[in-house]
Amino acid sequence: MQFDADERIASIFSSSGDITFSVYLKGSGIITLRDNTNVYRQDVTLTSEWARYDLSFNATITSVQIQNQTASVVDCEVWGAQAENLTHSTSLIPTSGATVTRNQDVCTNGGSLASINSTEGVLYAEIKLDLLTSNMYIQISDNSYSNRVAIINNNSSNSWRVFYRVNGISQIDATATGLNVFQTNKIAISWKLNEFKLFVNGTKIIEDNSGIVNPLNTFNRIDFSDINNTNPFFGKTKALAVWKEALSDSELQSLTTI
């Protein structure tokens, strides 16, 4: 469509707090994303390729708008406009004009118990977070707090933690710091008798050559949460894998290199 000078289209709704407006645009010229007060705004230089643009702010508003605030006519195609009560945009949710709450993704039939080995193995995740909460878990366990191997974020924007426990006692409990958890990190914890390792982004963070392991067939499930579905994981999972044998340093380095 063509936007004449000062012409706009608007999505009318009332909201307050964290708001992110996102939209796909292509065309030529400069178009403005703005709230109804024009306090929060972003000028976008359009291109001939579709691109997604975001505008995030914290305020009380009645609409978000796409407007031509130049004196020239702007040719612009618009698709997939979305407003969310978040500090960031997420993937598009078809709404058909009504408010929709995104369902949490659920993993089913992701593997078999034959792939999980309590006595040795590797838990690997290529992940990034969408937000911070008190704790978030990805773990293999027997559905108890005592016997499990876990990758955890403890409400930290710059670190990931792992542990392996037998009868409630940690054989390794290590934290990798200096990271950005909102960007993709590759994390692997490897365990076997007297050999526990943490690799992150191609670097060995720690190796502990003393410790016991759980008996055969102790672990029987993998969860994107703590025990009893508490502390769920909120983020994006590009890859999640389990090996039923421990890997070498070179294999772990290759696996986790960004």
One domain, residues 119 and 230: yes
Strand ranges for 48-159 from DSSP E:
51-67, 74-84, 121-129, 136-141, 148-153
Whether 106 is covered by a domain: the verdict is: no
Work out the average pLDDT over 97-105: 67
Q: What is the DSSP string of 125-154?
A: EEEEESS--S-EEEEEESSSSSSEEEEEE-
One domain, residues 126 and 189: yes
**Cα separation of 203 and 211, whole Å?**
22
Per-residue pLDDT tens digits for 60-70: 999 899 999 88
Q: Using an 8 Å Cβ cutoff, are 156 and 102 in contact?
A: no
Q: pTM for the complete prediction?
A: 0.65
Q: What is the DSSP letter of 102?
A: P
Number of neighbouring beta carbons within 10 Å of residue 56 = 16
Per-residue pLDDT tens digits for 109-137: 555 666 789 999 999 999 999 888 889 99
Question: What's the CATH number where 163 sits?
Answer: 2.60.120.200
Residue 112: partners with Cβ closer than 8 Å, 6 or more residues away: none
Domain boundary among 68, 84, 100: 84
pLDDT at residue 112, as a whole number: 60
One domain, residues 163 and 244: yes
One domain, residues 58 and 176: no
One domain, residues 185 and 241: yes
Work out the average pLDDT over 35-48: 93
Domain boundary among 84, 100, 124: 84
Question: What's the CATH number where 42 sits?
Answer: 2.60.120.260
Whether 131 is covered by a domain: the verdict is: yes
One domain, residues 75 and 136: no
Work out the average pLDDT over 45-56: 92
Domain boundary among 66, 84, 102: 84
One domain, residues 42 and 120: no
Strand, coil or helix: 104: coil
Q: Which residues pair with 129 in a beta bridge?
A: 235
Per-residue pLDDT tens digits for 174-214: 999 999 999 999 999 999 999 999 999 999 999 999 999 99
Whether 99 is covered by a domain: the verdict is: no
One domain, residues 119 and 243: yes
List the domain range (segments joined by +) for residue 34. 2-84
One domain, residues 141 and 224: yes
Q: Using an 8 Å Cβ cutoff, are 145 and 231 in contact?
A: no
Number of separate domains in the chain: 2
One domain, residues 76 and 180: no
pLDDT at residue 229, as a whole number: 85
Per-residue pLDDT tens digits for 142-185: 999 999 999 999 999 999 999 999 999 999 999 999 999 999 99
| Cα dist from 197 to 136, 188, 245, 255, whole Å | 21, 8, 13, 13
Work out the average pLDDT over 40-60: 92
pLDDT at residue 105, as a whole number: 60
Whether 158 is covered by a domain: the verdict is: yes
